[in-house]
């Protein structure tokens, strides 16, 4: 039996349902999800005619932009970016310009020099792909940089073997996002980055000797700006590398998703106003599997009128899971926005309740 989903962009069907749809090339799931194939670095539509990957080699995304930000290139067979049978010639030319650019970025002046009106480029790209040309470039640049974090420091052979024309594109993209190329790790004060695979998709973790500074799903909207703000506050660049706190975080995440532990003890480094820190501290007191409303949090902080401020602080949390903002819901019991997507929020709450039930 097929389930004709018409899911919002921040939700996804169950993983088992999506994999069945992928195997069956179910057309009712067109536009509902996109598939990133870890072994090829390519993302596809659910109806792609290519050979189907094993389930453990698949990641799911709610939008093409999220897949791009996750480090995947669009498939040349099923063309997941295209909303029309064939994109306009100008749109294809714009994509080629981005791929040729060492930094994955084409400026307005470069467009004009090529005889392309920037406003025309923006409109045609938006019409063809549902995102602006600028948004596409940011997502592509972020994806290249995260791909390098995922691969580690020995990336040149992997870049070339995966079909990228320019290895320097990876290094320039990394430098654009994180400040320095990996080769300069020993020359600067830096945060070490690690790509951590989970059942809900990949997480990016940043840490130094003080503790964990950031833990976010790699397809979170605005992640590049979040990293830039963190680097500015901490006065650090970001490079792939090892760190004892990253090791501890990896072990604790494995235990959390495996159902053997519920609480995180890894040291955290939080940066925010006194009020924001008080909200984040209170979030860590909510027991796994339980939920509080924004109003409950505000009352617990001694200011019942601070509901909106609590919501804003919740949204600024950059330490997913370890500061459990997924345990906050609306006063009517409904789920609300979550940086990793509402579907992840539901999964996490259900997971924690299953662990509680097993322990009872």
Helix (H, G, I), strand (E, B) or coil at 287: coil
Q: Assess contact for 224 and 341: CB atoms under 8 A.
A: no
Contact 230, 224 (CB under 8 A): no
The length of the chain is 360
Q: Where are the beta strands (DSSP E) in 99-241?
A: 190-196, 203-208, 211-217, 237-240
347-356: long-range pairs with CB below 8 Å, 24+: 347/200, 348/200, 348/321, 349/289, 349/291, 351/257, 351/259, 352/262, 352/288, 352/289, 353/289, 354/259, 355/259, 355/262, 355/288, 355/289, 356/288, 356/289
| Structure token pair of residue 69 | 């930000």
In the 8-state DSSP scheme, what is residue 272?
Answer: S
Is 325 an annotated catalytic residue?
yes
Block residue for tokens 């924004």: 294
Provide, for the chain, the percentages of residues in helix, strand and coil under a 3-state DSSP scheme, each rounded to the nearest 5. Answer: 45, 10, 40
Candidate list 78, 112, 325, 336, residue with the active-site label: 325
Residue numbers annotated as active site: 325
């Amino acid at each position: 039996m097929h389930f004709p989903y018409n899911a919002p962009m921040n939700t996804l069907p169950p993983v088992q349902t999506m994999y069945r749809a992928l195997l069956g090339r179910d057309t009712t799931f067109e536009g509902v999800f996109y598939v990133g194939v870890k072994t090829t670095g390519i993302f596809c539509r659910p109806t792609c005619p290519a050979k189907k990957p094993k389930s453990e080699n698949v990641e799911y995304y709610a939008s093409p932009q999220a897949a791009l930000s996750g480090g995947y290139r669009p498939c040349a067979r099923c063309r997941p970016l295209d909303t029309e049978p064939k994109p306009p010639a100008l749109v294809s030319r714009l994509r080629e310009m981005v791929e040729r650019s060492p930094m994955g970025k084409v400026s307005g002046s470069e467009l004009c020099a090529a005889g392309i009106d920037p406003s025309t480029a923006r409109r045609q790209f938006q019409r063809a792909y549902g995102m602006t040309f600028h948004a596409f470039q940011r997502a592509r640049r972020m994806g290249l940089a995260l791909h390098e974090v995922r691969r580690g420091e020995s990336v040149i052979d992997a870049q070339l073997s995966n079909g990228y024309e320019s290895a320097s594109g990876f290094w320039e993209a990394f430098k654009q996002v994180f400040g320095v190329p990996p080769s300069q790790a020993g020359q600067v004060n830096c945060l070490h980055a690690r790509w951590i695979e989970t059942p809900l998709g990949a997480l990016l973790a940043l840490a130094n000797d003080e503790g964990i500074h950031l833990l976010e799903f790699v397809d979170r909207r605005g992640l590049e700006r979040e990293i830039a703000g963190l680097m500015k506050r901490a006065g650090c660049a970001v490079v792939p590398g090892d760190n004892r706190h990253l090791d501890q975080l990896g072990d604790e995440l494995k235990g959390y998703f495996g159902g053997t532990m519920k609480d995180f003890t890894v040291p955290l480094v939080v940066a925010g106003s006194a009020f924001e820190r008080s909200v984040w501290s209170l979030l860590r007191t909510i027991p796994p599997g339980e939920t509080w409303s924004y109003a409950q949090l505000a009352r617990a902080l001694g200011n019942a009128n601070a509901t909106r401020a609590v919501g804003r602080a919740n949204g600024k949390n950059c330490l997913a899971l370890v500061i459990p903002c997924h345990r906050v819901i609306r006063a009517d019991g409904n789920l609300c926005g979550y940086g990793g997507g509402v579907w992840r929020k539901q999964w996490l709450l259900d997971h924690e309740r299953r662990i509680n039930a097993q322990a009872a």
